[in-house]
Amino acid sequence: MGSKVFVIRAKNSEIILLSTEYHGFSQKLLFKCSCGQNFEKTFTKFKKNNQRNCSDCVAPRASR
């Protein structure tokens, strides 16, 4: 089976994709945040849920 290459471009983002292979939507991919810290997210969370920062850069959520 041939390999697929994906390019992720997030608007106004300095996130870098470090993973070189994609094996499915549930696989965690390695990214580098604009602050320099590496973090992992699934492609679905990164794309659809806008989880595009490391845990240090994420704004705290308001409690319910």
pLDDT along the chain (64 residues), means of 10: 52 78 87 90 83 82 76
Please state the pTM of the whole predicted model. 0.70
Q: What pLDDT shows up at residue 38?
A: 93
Please state the three-class secondary structure of 29-48 as a single string.
EEEECCCCCEEEEEHHHHHH
Task: Please give the pLDDT value at position 13.
Answer: 67
User: What pLDDT is recorded for position 7?
Assistant: 53
Comparing CA positions, the residue from 49, 8, 5 lying closest to residue 32 is: 8
